[in-house]
Amino acid sequence: MKKRLFIQTFGCQMNVHDSEQMAALMGQHGYETVADAADADLILVNTCSIREKAAQKIMSQLGRYRSIKRSRPETIIGVGGCLAQHLGEDLVTRNPHVDLVFGTHNLHRLPEMVIRIEQSGEKVIETSLAPVVPSLGIRVAPRENAISAFVTIMQGCNNYCAYCVVPFLRGPETSRPGEDILNEIKMLVDGGIREVTLLGQNVNSYGHTLSPRTSFPELLRGVGRIDGLERIRFTTSHPKDLSDDLVRCFGEIRSLCEHIHLPAQSGSDRILRAMNRGYTSEEYRNRVKCLREQCPEIAVTSDMIVGFPGETNEDFQRTLDLMETIRFDNLFSFKYSERKGTAAVHFPDPVPETEKAERLETLQARQEGHTLEKNRDLEGRLVEVLVEGRSKNSPDDMSGRTRTNRIVNFTASADTVRKTVPVRIERAFLHSLRGKIEHLGGVC
Ligand code: SAH
Ligand code: SF4
Ligand code: F3S
């Protein structure tokens, strides 16, 4: 009989993909994935440590698994990912019901570690970092009827932004050989995948560690030549490494979607310098200007941090100014969270938490206005939608995404799923669009 695996994932898309790799690896060792932790023989929690709040949420979730362990002591509980890397043994000290802790570079050894626990009943803690991340090449066969898939093209980060814990948890930047990536994408397309998202902490510096050296635009052109691949997305881009060649790709590669996630973090040059971001707000504006000149339709989304140590009201106003000039299609915004080991821990921070919270509220309200305005610009327009499946809210509706990554709901039959259809946008909301399908068949 198959053993049952339950995986709970926190954090970024990279973690989502790592969880898929965990399921694939354990699948080869007789485990099938189940939807309820209470039914599982093996519970894996894939964690994130980007902000203190994320870490706390995970710790309280781990606490909830104590009762499962109490009623079924043979259940193995494993914790992987960035918080596991961060806390190591401390995780087990604080959660004695946890059997396994594995770091971000130890995922490939998961089956072996689980077998060791099954056989010996001993706890396993493995958080060593390797020079080349062995899990980079683990392939995940497409899920049944899946339309899109993640493909990791690089791991780690060398940027050491002053607030960020990622370089300490994911190790230095390593790129995966291009041929490996292209072969994996061909395998995915043969398995029915229509859209891939290329993943890395800073995809723009892809290939610099490879020999011979290559570049992200070169990789994109290779991916763009794969027959049957409808859409290419990527995340995340660092503004300091966004080359003119990458900008040109948006005019050249048909399957490259008109969307870029380009985290700005702040609009104040003083704060950007303190953050060690390597660009000014003017340079950021220029990069977006070039992208829009090359591709007027492009959606630009971003990340912003408020309340970085020493951020004055004046600095915060510069962030609002940047938002006004760029008018982001969407923005993920966060209150600064102090992370152990990062440079910003040592920066003086006289700004009270309440003021930071107020700034975050102001920024988010401003962005909601911009997002809605951008969505309303699409009312009356015809957009290309890749249909993903039934809408969650209405059984008669189908749901899909535009090339600019907006969700569109529309009434249509289920046989539109997996197809690219033209939809006329009738109404725009904050988080989605509503439209009417125009006709089926050869669009764009
Ligand atoms: N590699 C990506 C993003 C990594 S983390 C990049 O460089 O853009 C995702 C986002 O979390 C970051 O863009 C940043 O906005 C936010 N973030 C990272 N560390 C943070 C911290 N200590 N406090 C608040 N937000 C943080
Ligand atoms: Fe963190 Fe900066 Fe690296 Fe992004 S580029 S992962 S924010 S250190
Ligand atoms: Fe979190 Fe690690 Fe991703 S800290 S955001 S899961 S790289």
Which ligand 3 atom is at minimum distance from the Cα of 54?
1
48 lines ligand 3 (CB under 6 A): yes
The number of the ligand nearest the C-alpha atom of 167 reads 2
233 lines ligand 3 (CB under 6 A): no
Centre of ligand 3 to C-alpha 263, Å, is 15
Residues of the chain with CATH 3.30.750.210: 141-257
Residues of the chain with CATH 2.40.50.140: 382-442
| Residue 231 CB partners (closer than 8 Å, separation 6+) | 148, 194, 195, 196, 255, 257, 386, 403
| Residue 310 CB partners (closer than 8 Å, separation 6+) | 271, 274, 347, 348, 349, 350, 351
Q: For residues 326, 332, 338 and 342, what is the CA-based torsion angle, rounded to 10 degrees? A: -70
Residue of 16, 50, 168 best suited for mutating to test ligand 1, as the one with most atoms within 8 Å of CB: 50
pLDDT at 29 over 90: yes
Would you say 410 and 384 are in contact if contact means Cβ atoms under 8 Å apart? no
Would you say 421 and 276 are in contact if contact means Cβ atoms under 8 Å apart? no
- For the chain, give the percent of residues with pLDDT over 70: 99
171 lines ligand 2 (CB under 6 A): no
Neighbours of 356 (CB within 10 A): 19
50 lines ligand 3 (CB under 6 A): yes
Confidence class for position 440, pLDDT limits 50, 70, 90? low
CA 41/CA 38 separation, integer angstroms: 9
pLDDT at 11 over 60: yes
Centre of ligand 3 to C-alpha 82, Å, is 6
Q: What is the DSSP string of 334-383?
A: EE----TTSGGGGS---S-HHHHHHHHHHHHHHHHHHHHHHHHTTTT-EE
Residues of the chain with CATH 3.40.50.12160: 3-126
Domain 382-442 classified CATH 3.40.50.2000? no
pLDDT at 300 over 60: yes
Which class does domain 270-377 fall in? alpha beta
CA 348/CA 354 separation, integer angstroms: 17
Burial class (CB in 10 A: 0-12, 13-18, 19+), 365: exposed
**42-47 and 76-81 strand pairing:** parallel
Residue of 10, 159, 303 best suited for mutating to test ligand 1, as the one with most atoms within 8 Å of CB: 303
Residue whose CA is closest, atom 4 of ligand 1? Answer: 201
- For the chain, give the percent of residues with pLDDT over 90: 92
Phi, psi of 75, rounded to the nearest 5 degrees: -65, 130
Centre of ligand 3 to C-alpha 314, Å, is 30
Q: For residues 347, 352, 357 and 363, what is the CA-based torsion angle, rounded to 10 degrees? A: -60
Region 122-145: what's the mean pLDDT?
Answer: 84
The number of the ligand nearest the C-alpha atom of 52 reads 1
Binding-site residues, ligand 1, Cβ < 6 A: 50-51, 163-164, 166, 201-202, 236, 238, 263, 265, 303, 305, 334, 336-337, 339
Would you say 304 and 334 are in contact if contact means Cβ atoms under 8 Å apart? yes
Partners of 4 in the β-ladder: 32
**407-411 and 259-261 strand pairing:** unpaired
pLDDT at 441 over 80: no
Beta strands, E only, 42-194: 42-47, 76-81, 100-102, 124-126, 148-152, 154-155, 174-175
- The pLDDT of residue 439 is 72
Lowest mean pLDDT among 5-19, 41-55, 139-153, 231-245: 139-153
pLDDT at 150 over 70: yes
pLDDT at 386 over 50: yes
pLDDT at 83 over 70: yes
Which class does domain 3-126 fall in? alpha beta
Region 420-424: what's the mean pLDDT?
Answer: 97
Q: What is the DSSP string of 13-59?
A: HHHHHHHHHHHHHHHTTTEEE-S-GGG-SEEEEEE--SSHHHHHHHH
Confidence class for position 1, pLDDT limits 50, 70, 90? confident
Lowest mean pLDDT among 321-325, 331-335, 348-352: 348-352
Confidence class for position 444, pLDDT limits 50, 70, 90? very low
Domain 141-257 classified CATH 3.90.1150.10? no
Strand order in the sheet with 195-199: 148-152, 195-199, 231-235
166 lines ligand 3 (CB under 6 A): yes
Centre of ligand 3 to C-alpha 341, Å, is 15
Residue of 13, 14, 102, 261 best suited for mutating to test ligand 3, as the one with most atoms within 8 Å of CB: 14
Centre of ligand 3 to C-alpha 444, Å, is 36
- The pLDDT of residue 442 is 46
Confidence class for position 131, pLDDT limits 50, 70, 90? confident
Which ligand 1 atom is at minimum distance from the Cα of 335?
24
Q: Using omega within 30 degrees of 0 as the cis cutoff, is the peptide bond preceding 352 cis? A: no
pLDDT at 443 over 50: no
∠ CA 180-183-185, nearest 5°, is 110
Q: Is 67 helix (H, G, I), strand (E, B) or coil?
A: helix
Region 243-267: what's the mean pLDDT?
Answer: 98
Kindly report the average pLDDT of the chain as a whole number.
Answer: 95
Region 97-117: what's the mean pLDDT?
Answer: 96
Region 250-267: what's the mean pLDDT?
Answer: 98
